[in-house]
Structures are given as C-alpha cells and as structure tokens.
C-alpha cells in the first residue's frame, strides 16, 4: 500500500495523537519476529549464502518475519559499484531472496536493496517486503538520503547516486501492520508519526547501516524515541563491523517494544566477532 507524502497533512495526524495514544490492547496471540545482524561485502554470492543460512535457522526457530539490514545483498567497495550491480526489484538477485522466503515459509523484510533507477547514474535504496509465498508484497524507496559530513569520519552524499522515494508504505502482515523505512529516515520523526497515526502502522521497520561515529552518538536513543512517540514496536536490523578497509558499520541491532524497552539486542561490541547472527522475540499482535 503506497501513499503520497505530499498528500498527507501532518497537522491532522499529529492532532490525533492524544486521542489515540494508549488505546491499543494486547491480543492473545504472539508471533516470533527476528532481526539479522551481518557484515555484507561486495560479494553478492557470499552475502546470499549468509542470508540463506540465517533464514533457515530463523524458520526452524519458528520466526514468521525475519528482518535484514540495509544493503544486505551488497555493500560497495569502490564508488559507482552499487550502480553497476543495481537491478529491478523483480530481477535475478531479488528472485533468489523470494525463493528463500517461499522455501522456508517465512516473511522477509529486505531493507536497502540497490534497485535500478530510471537512468544509469541513479538507483533507489529500496526496502522490499516479501511474504511467505515468495511474492513481493510492497516496497518502499528511502525518502531521506544520507548527505552528511560525519565529524572525524567522511562525507557521505547518497543523493549523488540515489533518487529518493516519495511514498509512505505500510503493509499488513501476520505480525501486524508494518511501516517500512530505511536507516537515515530514523532522524525524521514526522515520517513515523504519519506511519502510525495516519496509516495505523503497528511495527516500524528500520533496516540500517549506521556509521560507527553516528551510531555511538544517536542510534539507540533515536530508535527508542520513535517507539515511545508512536507506541509501536521498532525492529532495527543493522549492518555491523568492517565491510572492507574503507567502511565500517555500528551494529547494535535492536528490537524495542511500544513502551521503549529494548527487548532484544545484538551488541555493537560483539559485532566484530559475531557479525552474522540473528535474534528473535515474541510480539503480541495488537488490536488498535
Ligand atoms: O550505500 C550503501 O551501501 C547502503 N546505504 C547506506 O549505508 C546509507 C546511505 S550512504 N547509510 C546511511 O543512511 C547511514 C545513516 C547514518 O549513519 C546516520 O543517520 O547517522
């Protein structure tokens, strides 16, 4: 389900906040949701093999929705490499992930896929949601692009090679209504307010590849704030550790409940040793 950002008056959704807050009740059923922490590289085959193993392990553990980090399929080594490997979302790379979902009978949140853009110089940073039959249910193109001069680190200019999306995306799943976002979006609370109070999302997905510097400073507090403000679960699957000699991600994958409590974590400190793992929790599906 896609809705235009331009057509969503933010004041209306914000004014409904007080009246809707705290009215969700817990239903009896509980469902397992997992998040993966990994260290993707520019080896598409190796990344797929890691994902495939984790999908099978998660499925065996009874997980119904497994969430992968941004750039799960590929992290570039040199500039321009992402553009070269970018494919349509129904291309061969994504089809293999769809087969995984079907074979293991599990929903997959595949955040931050390099989707081929409308010209050779731009891609979309796309979060793809695949259901347990292997069908693409919906996709969200990252709206807020990471054009930031990170102190003591480097200058990122994602907009040099990425076309932003302009649609807000929610999708119903066995876990509840999912709100799809990507990484740097987490710094823009209005998107999460719209997902929750205009489009009734219950679980906010934030696949990420945060830098070490900004992750140490802001990652946990931003994610917990979004959970508290929206009273949604937040699932934040993260890239972790060194992808190559030029690039490192913070890690610290988190699953947060609507009260803002961290209910599962794959620590950043462990990222350097244990960067290919997953965790899961039981969600109580909420009737709002
Ligand atoms: O390009 C790729 O391979 C995958 N994409 C990313 O790593 C993106 C864009 S460069 N990174 C972020 O958004 C980091 C945000 C962040 O660190 C913050 O908000 O502090």
Question: Which protein residues touch ligand 1 with a CB less than 6 Å away?
Answer: 70-71, 75-76, 82, 112, 146, 156, 158, 183-184, 187, 209-211, 214
Pairing of strands 176-180, 203-205: parallel
**DSSP conformational letter for 62:** T
pLDDT of residue 152: 81
How far apart, in whole angstroms, are the C-alpha atoms of residue 253 and residue 122?
Answer: 29
pLDDT tens figures, 174-222: 999 999 999 999 999 999 999 999 999 999 999 999 999 999 999 999 9
The pTM assigned to this predicted structure is: 0.90
67 is annotated as an active-site residue:
no
- What angle (nearest 5°) sits at the alpha carbon of residue 57, between those of residues 55 and 63? 75
How far apart, in whole angstroms, are the C-alpha atoms of residue 182 and residue 46?
Answer: 23
Task: Write down the ipTM of this complex.
Answer: 0.95
Q: How much distance in Å is there from the Cα of 239 to the middle of ligand 1?
A: 10
Of residues 67, 98, 142, 171, which has the active-site annotation?
142
- Give kind and range of the element (H or E) at residue 129: strand 123-130
């Amino acid at each position: 389900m896609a809705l235009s950002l331009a057509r969503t008056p933010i004041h209306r959704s914000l004014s409904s906040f007080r009246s809707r807050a705290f009215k969700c009740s817990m239903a009896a059923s509980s469902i397992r949701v997992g998040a993966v922490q990994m260290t993707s590289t520019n080896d598409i085959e190796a990344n797929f093999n890691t994902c495939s193993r984790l999908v099978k392990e998660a499925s065996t553990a009874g997980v119904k929705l497994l969430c992968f980090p941004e750039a799960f399929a590929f992290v570039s080594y040199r500039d321009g490499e992402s553009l070269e490997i970018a494919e349509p979302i129904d291309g061969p790379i994504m089809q293999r992930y769809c087969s995984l979902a079907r074979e293991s009978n599990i929903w997959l949140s595949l955040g931050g896929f390099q989707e081929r853009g409308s010209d050779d110089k731009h891609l979309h940073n796309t979060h793809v949601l695949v259901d347990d039959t292997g069908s693409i249910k919906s996709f969200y193109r990252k709206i807020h692009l990471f054009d930031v001069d990170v102190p003591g680190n480097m200058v990122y200019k994602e907009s040099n090679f990425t076309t932003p999306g302009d649609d807000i995306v929610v999708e119903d799943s066995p876990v509840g209504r999912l709100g799809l976002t990507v990484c740097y979006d987490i710094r823009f609370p209005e998107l999460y307010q719209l997902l929750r109070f205009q489009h009734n999302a219950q679980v906010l997905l934030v696949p990420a590849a945060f830098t070490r510097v900004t992750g140490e400073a802001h990652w946990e507090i931003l994610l917990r704030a979004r959970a508290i403000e929206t009273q949604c679960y937040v699932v934040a699957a993260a890239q972790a550790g060194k992808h190559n000699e030029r690039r490192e991600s913070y890690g610290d994958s988190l699953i947060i409940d609507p009260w803002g409590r961290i209910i599962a974590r794959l620590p950043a400190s462990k990222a350097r040793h244990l960067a290919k793992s997953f965790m899961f929790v039981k969600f109580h599906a909420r009737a709002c």
